[in-house]
Structure 1
């Protein structure tokens, strides 16, 4: 369901003016709305239905500063890069600190990054050595133009092979089989229900799964903050990290990993792309440097000028350049209730400030203030795979 080409690109780090601090807001509503730094794509995206509004209490999970549809970053840090993504978040998976975001709790359509929720829900339940047979129903509603692992009716595959097909090739067929097997007597719908149960357990309150693969379905949404919670659950598993970092596997036919950033971006642990006409480009990725493990989640990106992978790199570079204790909130844990998460987040709110509205986006390559040249990252000769977009019929 992904299916886009990212051109060879040179990403120059931004030379930025620090944001002006305004002190810790008593409530998120008291903070000025700061528009997200954006880049206009060459062509406007298709019109999409407006997502349901976010409950104010859910919007404040992880910190009251996160209850915004605009930009939230720590005070005194370089301005976040301008991107086409309609929402994004960068967080530290080790400490749980949220470094910044744009509309972090806003509902957006997930596309294939929804497969991470399938892994979070069912990987603990399924024996990787179990061999399952593919049925006609597993393949019945799949567009042959969508991203597929390549299983066939009557074929027998290990659960481990299906996980590899799901994560390396974004196999919608693998997602259907895994959901059916993991859903018990309720079959595929049982697997989808397990995904929604897992979202509630993680406090991913804006997330609702309608399909196991992320193919567009009624009422199917997530948020950048929710995706960071889901990524923390999946990347905490050794088996998931091993699967998503696998370059090639025999299942029994050969499949190759389409996350080209594994060999292009220093410290890349793994990532998942997504695309549908409705969702546009989506991405979740994790990279590690000097003991810091950062996750970036973005939704609603366009193919140009950078594409979701280029935008993810710009956001990761921005995150790694921030102090280790910079934050505007935190990733809540499954064991805490909503009141506990709000109280803990409010207690730590002094570490992060909402950027004052005079903080403005800086276009790529533009020098402001100090004559300082930062890192130039060249990504040449790679592409994001030859998968065609999956479209709902």
Structure 2
């Protein structure tokens, strides 16, 4: 088994970094690591002068203004409530005498359908598109060069329903509203998901709970678990035992025995080069591989990433090691609330310690293998800020990415595309991000990214004041409905029910957003 990662990336990526992500490379701290004669630099024969190092300073965004966290109240959530009112009120007013029956039928339709629209013509178009997308799982395709592509296996008939019933349904799940763009063509991944990183709304998905080998995207869980435990100024002298068990053909940053590295150096090796050697050394500092795997599994369960089974902390192919597009997106969302996680994931290149020669420690340049960040072989995606890519013989190509546009932050995970297109995992991610930004506010969510278990009120903790308020809202709505029904022949009933539903929705959104994401450093 080989882990396949790009060894080199384009230069001057700092100019394309999001303003709210502060790089952790030495250059970002004001040290020119690429100029001629930089201290400790390993010179490359015939290498062109890259010119001055470019870096950005600029306005902050949601991550920095919340000390590295997602905002607690989302614009999309408010938009969704407004859209719910616009959709619900006309239907209830049109048929007040049978409002209850229509409400029940509407709920059934909402859970039943994949790719439903609020406009008849759009509904037909999206239904045809969804059927086409789902059929691509059941037949072979030809790649970009006309080569036959292996037939995709079918997803399980039953999958987890964490985050919503539709997310456990095989095939593409999307509910387009008026004016929403159709999903992009040419999607070949076995599994993918598009989610709002702040509200947690899942805008669209395809087999998002399919348990598949994750490759190096598993390193997101590794980092989210260990980053808070290991101070980045700590150092460690590497022994041969630390590197024992690194898989054959693994991606590696180039750690050497008997040399000393800081935790900061090792995290650069993990995030940029996807170095399994760095993962093993950090695991040794954490008490060993077995302990690290146990802690990662416990953290996955805390996040409710229940499709995930950890066998190896570096994502190297191992029997029984699986995750899902849904879980990887949950994990990325959790990690992105940590400042160091964000900074490492958004760093395009850095200097890594090499050997000591003549009493002086040399360094060599390492570059991020995330092609949407560096623009290596594909166009860099505007506003991208990480997160992690992977590629193994069993997993195929996997990728979770985060990007911001006009104040909206989206997460996309794509697993194992097989179109035959070069760099397909990045290109399909780009197309899904484009769709997500265009569709935001115009689709009904098909599910949600759930909060961690610890964010929920403990059992027996007593009544929640927001739950009490919600129940009072329901009671008041029912009383108002009865009063209006007596005086208006049924129209008042419809309006009161609609008002009550919106009040309940508003309280529900408020409670969820207050509980999680929490503000973290």
TM norm. shorter chain > 0.5: yes
Alignment of 1:127-206 (within 5 A): 127-143=231-247, 145-182=249-286, 184=287, 187-206=288-307
- The residue aligned with 2:78 is none
Contact 2:158-2:169 at 8 Å conserved across structures: no
The range that moved more, 143-152 or 96-105, is 143-152
Contact 2:214-2:323 at 8 Å conserved across structures: yes
Offset at 1:298? 1.0
Contact 1:181-1:188 at 8 Å conserved across structures: no
Q: Give every structure 1 segment of 4 or more consecutive aligned residues whose post-TM-superposition deviation is greater than 2 Å.
A: 2-5, 21-28, 30-48, 53-56, 75-79, 137-146, 323-326, 335-340
Give TM-score scaled by structure 1 length: 0.74
Alignment of 1:303-314 (within 5 A): 304-306=420-422, 307-314=424-431
- The residue aligned with 2:208 is 104
Q: Runs of 5+ in structure 1 lacking a partner?
A: 6-20, 349-393
Offset at 1:313? 0.4
Q: Is residue 449 of structure 2 the alignment partner of residue 331 of structure 1?
A: yes
The CA RMSD measured in Å over matched residues stands at: 3.0
1:277 to 369, 386, 393: 393
Q: Per-residue displacement from partner, 1:140-189 (whole Å, max 9, x unpaired)?
A: 3335633101101122111111111001001011111122222x3xx111
The range that moved more, 60-69 or 96-105, is 60-69
Contact 1:90-1:98 at 8 Å conserved across structures: yes
Return closer, same or farther for 1:68/1:336 CA change in 2, 3 Å cut-off. Answer: farther
Q: Per-residue displacement from partner, 1:277-296 (whole Å, max 9, x unpaired)?
A: 11111001100011111011
Contact 1:87-1:104 at 8 Å conserved across structures: yes
Contact 1:71-1:102 at 8 Å conserved across structures: yes
- The residue aligned with 2:408 is 292
- The residue aligned with 2:149 is 44
Q: Is residue 375 of structure 2 the alignment partner of residue 267 of structure 1?
A: no
Determine which structure has more spread, i.e. the larger CA radius of gyration: 2
- The residue aligned with 2:217 is 113
Offset at 1:250? 2.0
2:329 to 213, 228, 241: 228
CA distance in 2, matches of 1:330, 1:114: 21
CA distance in 1, matches of 2:157, 2:275: 31
Q: Is residue 89 of structure 2 the alignment partner of residue 87 of structure 1?
A: no
Offset at 1:47? 8.5
Give TM-score scaled by structure 2 length: 0.57
1:302 to 418, 425, 435: 418
- The residue aligned with 1:239 is 340
Offset at 1:139? 2.4
CA distance in 1, matches of 2:227, 2:249: 27
Contact 2:4-2:392 at 8 Å conserved across structures: yes
Contact 1:104-1:225 at 8 Å conserved across structures: yes
**Secondary structure of the corresponding residue to residue 272 of structure 1:** strand
- The residue aligned with 1:389 is none
Q: Runs of 5+ in structure 2 lacking a partner?
A: 8-86, 88-104, 115-129, 354-362, 375-379, 460-466, 471-503, 506-521
Q: Is residue 177 of structure 2 the alignment partner of residue 61 of structure 1?
A: no
Q: Per-residue displacement from partner, 1:260-319 (whole Å, max 9, x unpaired)?
A: 322521101113111111111100110001111101101112372251111110111111
CA distance in 2, matches of 1:112, 1:301: 16
2:309 to 208, 211, 225: 208
- The residue aligned with 1:2 is 4
